[in-house]
Amino acid sequence: MTDVAHRPRGPLAASGRVTTAAAPLRGRAAELALLDEHLARLADGVGFVWLIEADPGLGKSRLLRQVQVRAHAAGFAVGHGAADPGEAAVELAVLFDALFGGTEPVLKRAALPPAPTSRERRYWLIQDIEALLEQVALRRPVVLCLDDVQWADGGSLAALRLLPARLACMPVGWVLAFRPVDRDGDAGRAISAAAEAATTATTTTTTTTTTLRRLEASAVAEVAADMLGATPDPDLLDLAESARGNPFQLTELLGGLRDEQLIQFDAGRVLLVESRLPERVKGSMRRRLGRLTATARQIAAVASCLGRRFTLSQLACVLGEPPSALIDGLAELIGTGLIIEDADALRFSHDLNREAVRASLPRTTLPALDRQVAAALLAAGAMPVEVATQLAASAAPGDEVAIATLMKASDAISDSDPGRAADLARRALDLTTRQHQLRGPLIARTAVLLHAAARSKEAKAFADGALGQALPPDQEAEVRLSIASLFAISPEVRAASCRSALALDGLPPALRARLLAQLFHNLVVAVRPEEARQLAPEVSAAIASSDDRAAPLTFELGQASLDYMAGHFEASLARVDTFLQRSSDPGEGSRERLARHLRCGILVVIDRFDEALTAAADGVSSAQQARQAWALHLFQRHLGRQYLQRGQLADAAAVLEGDFGADDAHLVVSVVDAAAVVALGRVALHTSDHRQAELTGSIAQVMLTSGVPGVERHAAWLLALQAMAQGDPAGARRRLATLGEAERLSVFPLFPLDPADDPQLVRIAIASGDTELAESVTRAARHRSQLNPGTTGLAAGAAHAGGLLDADTEQLAAAAVMLATGPRRLALASALEDLGGAHLLAGRADDAVAAFDGALRHYAECGARWDAGRVRSRLRRLGVRRRLAAERRPTAGWAAMTDAELAVVRLAADGLTNKEIAERLYISAHTVSGHLRHAFEKLAVHSRVALTRLAAEHDRT
């Protein structure tokens, strides 16, 4: 992360020569009352998000100034930042202004840990900022004002999508001001996401949207009286109507009338001498500048290219003059009100004035002037990323300095903002000639970055059109191998990249071996096992004929997953253990983390739950220490699935909730993510969480179009479960056949596998009259059990499926007995419920009641409200009413919380941040947030402040 060194920062100053910060804010009584309401709630520990939308000149920046003044007066920590269109490439620029700028910064820059040099840099920076803001907010409320969000950089927009929601329970107020934006654009989506921070049921964080309107006539009269120091006469007010209630245009009009002596003062009144518009209003900016000296005009033109704020030294540097030579011209511009002094810098009195100055310049001169300014700033020591936007817009083909600078800027932000970095690299590429020495590296960089930014369609079109034109085959193959190794993109895209590379001529044996091994692995994780098996002999031969060390490891990891899919779990575990012994990746490399994650999944299937839980917790802790977000998500999602299988529904929800949103559904391209979506959807069904069920269902609909077989099968399974939960077995079967009538027989086994799924699918098949499907699933379950003798979960799943298929109470009872010895409580409850149904069909009502009683008890202990209600209804139909101790457990208050929630709440009440709690408990900060959300619901509190008070009261009783 680089500071914007060439442009000093400071607190927001007066908005103009004639409109000072001390002047009252007229015509905004409702907005000021809302501000006072927000600040009062903030003092009580409740945060807010305030969106202020306004056309240019309507006073959003002045309203933000009032927010700052009143929040400062209340003793709050206050930050302000204003986005600049010239800083689009500067990562987190406007947010860093708000956090670290000004004379009393909200945060100290030294407190921010060093950012990792990885593609996940932005993720960890935002995590660190969240933790620091928590620390401040635990001491006093925080108000962050961000102006002109429509121009915010990608990093700041990413932070706005995340931080307001993550800090919703803290006394943090967000005030976001912006011009009208496209709600489907990056800024619009970030603003919408910030607004949705208040939608969770666990907080009373408020979201308010204010659209500033034009001033009423009474407010216009008050502004005139404030500016001119006297009561305006009716003629003057009539002329003021030409401003149409726009505060900026009104102050320009009144200032012009005064400067050109078109008004006079008489006994406390101000009279209009001549009813005409002053020259500064009726003339264009070009005519207005024409009345200035040549030096002043030149300064204004250069200043308009320097950005929102600039210094005298920068002006002198660009103009090649000593600062003393510019003083008179600058004073002239300040005298006209075009430019004002702002702490240790200068700026235009309004963005509209800056835009008008640029518009007044001949269009043909602007690129050259921007280019001159960029060159001068670079010569003065500016970082490449700070002038990248200007260079991208102004450089001409063949501009070597621009090419090199844009490439350096792309390098600087490639880890944190690969999308913007790709755009800069592509612009640099546009400036090169076909024979340019940097053309190949730029093409390679752009292709990889586009994929890293999840712009796969664009990336494929670019790579197919550009790579072969500039790179020799071996270099092109290396680029395509890099793309094929990006875990964040679809395995189908990765496999296609491998195939394109393998089609090239003259590849070295080692490179060919790596490509084949990577293709094999990508086919496996896409859940295309047959294609992978067909490829395996060719991969083995390529590895044998090369001395490459990476290819055998990649191949071994893929084979371990292939064994898993075939049900050979012990063999899969042996391969993984061998891999981990042979792997020499330093510092827990990506392949090693993937292997450890696979190992966790195998351990669960073969009933080594405690060992799997410890391994997953170690994976979370290790990923946090190494600051690897992708690995952290990997192990978190495994934990969520494992908690579901153990019947710890609250803990599963805490881990998985908030990880997936409808807008990001297209990014679910891996089976790990897909399985986590299914797990979250199943938790929602068990707990009757209709909002979460609807969300996961909409995500699953998008997953069906992913093109990745493994992802699409998970989507079909979740949608089938939801249809079945709605009492529609025929609809559930249609969902299973979404991928094709014959494909319904191939949905299972899912990867990763839950042995308790087989009976659920058999139940759907029987209810919908699909005997073929029921028999196919049961055969497969029995085969897996036979391949893994002694594995209780697999044996129980096979017995449960067979019992349903054959209506056999003995098999169902055997399944229940086996499951009773392990932690799969939901599977046990399901087996008991089906056993009760089978007894009932056989006319054994007493046995049915006993089985239903057991099912009800286990469902209730798991918190599976929907299932418990269903079983209770079945009991009532038998004339039996049950109220269990587990069901009488409070749903609110301290007694309602799980052990995990209590542990988190205690540490939160002691003043630890989410990050500190996560480190103490060896869980992720995301999981901490989930536990706190549930605790807030049960304790009926809405902020960390209220939680601390309640915990103190509870400890005293």
- For residue 859, what are the β-bridge partners? none
Instruction: Please spell the DSSP secondary structure of 197-224, one letter per residue.
Output: GG-STT---EEEEEE--PPPHHHHHHHH
Q: How many residues does the structure list for the chain?
A: 957
Cα 853 versus chain centre, distance: 44
CA-closest candidate to residue 483, choices 508, 452, 509: 452
Residue 231 DSSP SS3: strand
CA atoms 781, 782, 783, 789: torsion sign: positive
Q: Which residues of 315-334 are buried (b: 16+ CB within 10 A; e: fewer)?
A: bbbbbeeeeeebeebbebbb
Which amino acid, residue 88?
Answer: A
- The count of other CB atoms within 10 Å of the CB of residue 34 is 16
Residue 424: predicted pLDDT: 94
Residue 152 DSSP SS3: coil
Supply the DSSP symbol for 114.
P
Q: What is the mean pLDDT of each run of 10 residues along the chain (957 residues)?
A: 32 33 83 95 92 93 95 96 88 93 91 74 88 92 96 92 89 95 88 77 73 94 92 91 89 87 89 83 78 92 88 91 93 90 86 87 89 89 89 92 93 87 93 88 90 84 82 89 88 94 94 96 96 97 92 94 96 94 65 93 96 92 84 92 94 87 87 96 95 94 95 97 96 94 92 95 97 97 96 97 96 97 96 96 94 95 93 92 63 83 88 85 82 86 82 77
Phi-psi region of 454 (alpha: psi -120 to 50; beta: other; left: phi over 0): left
Please, are residues 150 and 187 in contact by the beta-carbon 8 Å criterion? Answer: yes
Distance between CA atoms of residues 661 and 788, nearest Å: 38
Residue with tokens 């202004």: 97
Which residues lie below 8 Å from residue 239, measured CB to CB, with a gap of 6+?
253, 257, 272, 275, 277
Please, are residues 130 and 67 in contact by the beta-carbon 8 Å criterion? Answer: no
Please, are residues 847 and 855 in contact by the beta-carbon 8 Å criterion? Answer: no
Residue 8: predicted pLDDT: 32
Strands of the 269-272 sheet, one edge to the other: 231-232, 269-272, 263-266
Residue 587: predicted pLDDT: 42
Cα 485 versus chain centre, distance: 22
- The count of other CB atoms within 10 Å of the CB of residue 343 is 15
Which amino acid, residue 133?
Answer: L
| The token pair that represents 856 in the structure block | 């009800």
Rounded to 5 degrees, φ, ψ at 864 are -85, 80
CA-closest candidate to residue 619, choices 601, 605, 607: 601
Predicted model pTM: 0.83
| The token pair that represents 835 in the structure block | 């056993």
Cα of first residue to Cα of last residue in the chain, in angstroms, is 49
| The token pair that represents 54 in the structure block | 């306004």
Residue 180: predicted pLDDT: 92
Residue with tokens 């990249």: 497
Rounded to 5 degrees, φ, ψ at 340 are -130, 160
Please, are residues 822 and 610 in contact by the beta-carbon 8 Å criterion? Answer: no
E strand or H helix that includes residue 49:
strand 48-53
Residue 20: predicted pLDDT: 43
